[in-house]
Amino acid sequence: MAKKTVKDLNVSGKRVIVRVDFNVPIKDGVIKDDNRIVQALPTINYLVDEGAKVILLSHLGKVDHKDPEKTASDKKKNNMAPVAARLAELVKVPVKFVDETRGAELEKAVSEMKNSEIVVLQNTRYEKGESKNDPELSKYWASLGDLFVTDAFGSVHRAHSSTVGIAEILPSALGFLVEKEVTMLSKAVHNPERPFVAILGGAKVSDKINVIENLLNTADKVIIGGGMAYTFLKAQGKEIGTSLCEDDKIEMAKDFLSKASDKLVLPVDFRVAKEFSEECDNYIADENSIPSDYMGLDIGPKSVELFKNALQGAKTVVWNGPMGVFEMKTYAVGTIEVCKAISSLPGAYTVIGGGDSARAAIENGFQDDFSHISTGGGASLEFMEGKELPGIAVIQEK
């Protein structure tokens, strides 16, 4: 059965708690990228237009609760005040920020709310019980509202108080962003038009074991790039120098290679360097000629062409993870070229599964050239694994 969406709720005059993903990059109190705030606006604006009292919860960064000094430092660094201020600039109604996650000031602010007003709570991770889905905390937060809407796709894979606990108590629904994510990712992963090609990159095989396993069953081709490729190359008996490798995953890589037949596509050349640096000498080496004291930091031009060929004719493409150390310009070429290749496929349904690959596409101006760019790296990865996401599973059925 389909999940309820915000349009299935009667929200007028009701206190609606919305779990949003306002986990935006902030430096010295300045927001560097407000995309996650912007992505939540359709749900927020809908609730405002429908006369709801909108109470917004989000985490921001991490808060270490083990060491008091570190706790204080993390709280100062991950204060939601700049986020609430930016939201106030983007909506047409007043936004009240409450510098509390519980207490008299918060309760007063909620009780005094008029229809179509917005209250933003302090960072949910200020609460030690948030990440443990503490029942007492969930019950307290639920007491502030009448209804619950989840619109934080980047957090639905976590069973926290603000993602699952409140939804276990209040009538609940999906916001527009989460509804869109589920629809778009389902189309790519569960019901793809073929040929279906998956591209996986990033540093570690261990992060994507279940994704590889699932996609080898469902995709027509699985292209492997990034740091994880070197574990596969070593499994083939090739010299990888000082490249990133998970030795404890070599047997698993061998198993994947034997099962995959011709489905698995690996890079055949690399930009290598002696150090993890842009300044040191670097050059292109073939898969059989990486020197023992060099490391691979990006795929090379032959690999780019190989990957482009594997993508030809694809009708569905899912991409998760960069092809190299894309944060350094010298080693970003492979990622950018793969981005170009996917975005220019005629008539293809193309999805980026959040995280670094989404960042790479957006930073290089490709955000409008894909069918969908997910807002949740970890959540989209678990979706691609075929896992049930607790923050969605808990939402009421229609």
pLDDT at position 296:
97
Task: Tell me whether residue 378 is one of the annotated catalytic residues.
Answer: yes
Of the candidates 226, 241, 354, 355, the residue annotated as catalytic is: 355
CA trace torsion 8, 11, 17, 23 (10° rounding):
70
Q: What is the pLDDT of residue 28?
A: 86
Is 194 marked active-site? Answer: no
The yes-or-no answer on residue 19 being catalytic is no
Q: Which of 15, 36, 158, 249 is catalytic?
A: 36
Query: Using CB atoms within 10 A of its CB, is residue 210 exposed (0-12), middle (13-18) or buried (19+)?
Result: middle
Which of 238, 308, 340, 378 is the catalytic position? 378
Contact 219, 197 (CB under 8 A): yes
- Residue 36 designated active-site: yes
Query: Dihedral, CA atoms, 207, 213, 219, 223, nearest 10 degrees?
Result: 50
User: Is 141 within 8 Å of 165 (Cβ atoms)?
Assistant: yes
Dist CA 381 CA 37 (whole Å): 22
Measured between alpha carbons, how far is 290 from 380 in angstroms, rounded to an integer? 34
pLDDT confidence of residue 207: 86
- Of 77, 204, 238, 263, catalytic: 204
Choose among 27, 34, 338, 46: nearest CA to 175.
46
Predicted confidence (pLDDT) per residue in 303-335, tens digit: 999 999 999 999 999 999 999 999 999 999 999
Instruction: Go through the domains of the chain in sequence order and give each one's CATH number.
Output: 6-175 (3.40.50.1260), 183-385 (3.40.50.1260)
**Residues 182, 207: contact at Cβ < 8 Å?**
no
Tell me what pLDDT residue 363 has. Answer: 87
Q: pLDDT tens per residue, the chain (398 residues)?
A: 599 999 999 999 999 999 999 999 998 889 988 989 999 999 999 999 999 999 999 999 999 999 999 999 999 999 999 999 999 999 999 999 999 999 999 999 999 999 999 999 999 999 999 999 999 999 999 999 999 999 999 999 999 999 999 999 999 999 999 999 999 999 999 999 999 999 999 988 888 999 999 999 999 999 999 999 999 999 999 999 999 999 999 999 999 999 987 899 999 999 999 999 998 999 999 999 999 999 999 999 999 999 999 999 999 999 999 999 999 999 999 999 999 999 999 999 999 998 888 988 988 899 899 999 998 888 998 999 889 999 999 999 99
